[in-house]
Amino acid sequence: MKRALLLILFSVGLFACNNQQSNDKPVVTVSILPQKYFIENIAGDYVTVNVMIPPGASPVTYEPTPKQMQQLTTSDVYFRIGYIEFEKSWMNRFKNIHPQMKIIDLSEKAHLIKPQDTDHAHHAHEGHHHGIDPHIWVSPKEVKKQVELIYQYLLKNYPEQDSIFASNYKKFIQKIEQLDQYATCKLEPFKGEKFLIFHPALSYLARDYGLEQISIEIDGKEPTPANMQEIISIARSENIKIIFVQKQFSKHNAQVIAEEIDGTVVQINPLDYQWDKSIKYIIDRIVDSYSK
């Protein structure tokens, strides 16, 4: 009912708000905070970045507010991350509300993890058997491709800023490459090793740096008692003592398993705005987990 009311509300007249912005900066819209970080590293403060999923909210369950829907009608472009549930549910509605808005899919050049993939970097218990794994922003190797798409759009549509964009883009690519090198250096000694996580958010990081992710959540659902026992057995046999939990999810099941294996729950936030610091923190905690 809430979604239907939103659609009715915004289809009958909120385009009138298009010219009521407090500034005249171009507006671009994204789904998650790391995308805002990517854009602002290239565009600086030349554009206003409208983020649909706020800090702490889940890309699986979040529904936009009326204010966000109003802001959407001022946007030149929507950079979708690709396959998150939020976009699957809402993207067609966004397009109906603002048909003139361009949509750029940042997964266009991605090496996607698909349901049939069986590589050890996205092992059994993968939480997205029903579709493509959407977490393409957690691997520096994949982010480099996404940032290129953002840069090309900005360059084409705001050519008056081309020299600034080019300079910023070069610096940001260097930062991404440094993080890629850091990940390779830190994780290379642990190739083939497993780590345990509640929601399988680190699939691309695991794949690209030779690790194996085992998730507690299965097909986006809470684990059954039998699943829990299986995870506990794997953790004991592999001597896994750290369980990663994304900030947006409950720690309850992870804590139950941690107690059984005499382990520790470590909270991470791949959806943090400060993307590079967040990924570096995750890499460091994974390395720490192999010394327990």
Give the start-to-end residue ranges of the domains of the chain: 2-164, 188-289
Residue 195 near residue 214, CB atoms below 8 Å: yes
- Tell the residue number behind the tokens 């549509």, with chain if given: 157
Give me the pLDDT at residue 221, please.
79
Picking from 138, 103, 89, 84, the residue whose alpha carbon sits closest to that of residue 29 is 103
Classify domain 2-164 by CATH architecture.
3-Layer(aba) Sandwich (3.40)
Fold of 188-289: Rossmann fold (3.40.50)
Residue 8 near residue 93, CB atoms below 8 Å: no
One fold for 2-164 and 188-289: yes
- Which residues contact residue 229 at a Cβ distance below 8 angstroms, ignoring those fewer than 6 apart? none
Give me the pLDDT at residue 24, please.
87
Give me the pLDDT at residue 160, please.
97
Could you tell me the end-to-end alpha-carbon distance of the chain, in angstroms, rounded to an integer?
49
Give me the pLDDT at residue 115, please.
85
Picking from 80, 79, 76, 72, the residue whose alpha carbon sits closest to that of residue 96 is 72
Rg, C-alpha atoms of the chain: 20
Per-residue pLDDT 10s for the chain (292 aa) are 455 444 434 443 444 344 444 468 999 999 999 999 999 999 999 999 999 999 989 999 999 999 999 889 999 999 999 999 999 999 999 999 999 999 999 999 999 999 866 443 334 444 444 689 999 999 999 999 999 999 999 999 999 999 999 999 999 999 999 999 999 999 999 999 999 999 999 999 999 999 999 999 877 778 888 989 999 999 999 999 999 999 988 888 899 999 999 999 999 999 999 999 999 999 999 999 998 6
